[in-house]
Amino acid sequence: MKILLLLLGSLCLSVNGLPFSDEPSKTWVVLCAGWKGYHLGGYSIQANVYHAYQVIHAQGIPDENIIVMHYDDLAYNELNPTPGIVVHKVNGTDVYKGMKSRNFLGVLKGDPELVKKGKRLVNSGPNDNVFVYFVDHGSPNVVSFPVGYIYGEDLVFALKDMQQNNRFSKLVFYLEACESGSMFRILPNDLNIYAVSSSNATELSWECNWDESRKVYLGGYFANSWLDDCEHRDLQQESLQEQFDHMKKQLDIPGSDPKREPYPQHPVQYGDLSISKGS
């Protein structure tokens, strides 16, 4: 299975779909920035998600199938020297462009009004493929929001619940956070779920792309490496395994950062690894 096919809801994946459904296979993409604010340790989180949106949008996934969860307090923050523009690299292009601002802030906060309306984030069925990129601050077995936490058990329980409710054919989850490996420790390998953590269970994940004029880091090492790979390789040819191998190699060397000495980090694979290899 090639990543583009995964992203586009490919034929080869829909063959594995359940026979009783006539629905064509779709791909749903969820991009979630779990933290907010224009500051060190904040900017890069939303910028990662915006750049991911640009890359995925460029691959032809319809906007109605791309769900972006973000606080949306960066582009028009009073501290932003370029109102309405967010960059992911120094002197980089605007990655905020075309972002549809929807009310997912409410969902992140567990807005009771939205819950009451029964608003579903991902309206996927058994033939569909789901890709999730989630970036946040983390600690062992937890990722945190400005209000509340998600524990590793909760995350795996939610994924199991989706699987039991036939909400996907295959699901791929990229998680970028400190100690993110700890979140997937109990993920079974028989749920058609393949997960990648940006660092192992006991190490930090780092930001990069220091911007001297903005005084913030613009990106995460993991997102930087992943999206660079997407933009510079032929995604129709590259498997998720090859992408992982590439990121692993790239993240194992310290970045060049004038402000501090960054350390290598080690992404880890979890779940059903056959998905990464293309079966």
Interface with ligand NAG by CB under 6 A: which residues?
90-91, 200, 202-203, 266
Which position among 32, 88, 178, 208 bears the catalytic label?
A: 178
Nearer residue to ligand NAG within complex by CB, 64 or 231: 231
Name the maximum alpha-carbon separation found in the chain.
57
Taking the least distance from each CB to ligand NAG, the nearer of 189 and 202 is: 202
* Cα 178 → chain centroid: 14
CB of residue 266 vs ligand NAG: minimum separation in angstroms? 5
DSSP code of residue 172: E
Decide whether 91 or 164 has the Cβ nearer to ligand NAG.
Answer: 91
12 catalytic, yes or no?
no
Would you say 33 and 49 are in contact if contact means Cβ atoms under 8 Å apart? Answer: yes
Q: Return the structure tokens found at 67.
A: 């769900």
What tokens does 175 get? Answer: 């998680």
Nearer of residues 109 and 266 to ligand NAG, judged by Cβ: 266
Q: How far is CA 243 from the centre of its chain?
A: 14
CA dist 237 and 258 (Å) reads: 36
The pairing of strands 27-33 and 66-69 is parallel
Can 137 be counted among the known catalytic residues?
yes
Helices 240-251, 221-232: axis angle to 10 degrees equals: 130
Tell me the catalytic residues.
Answer: 137, 178
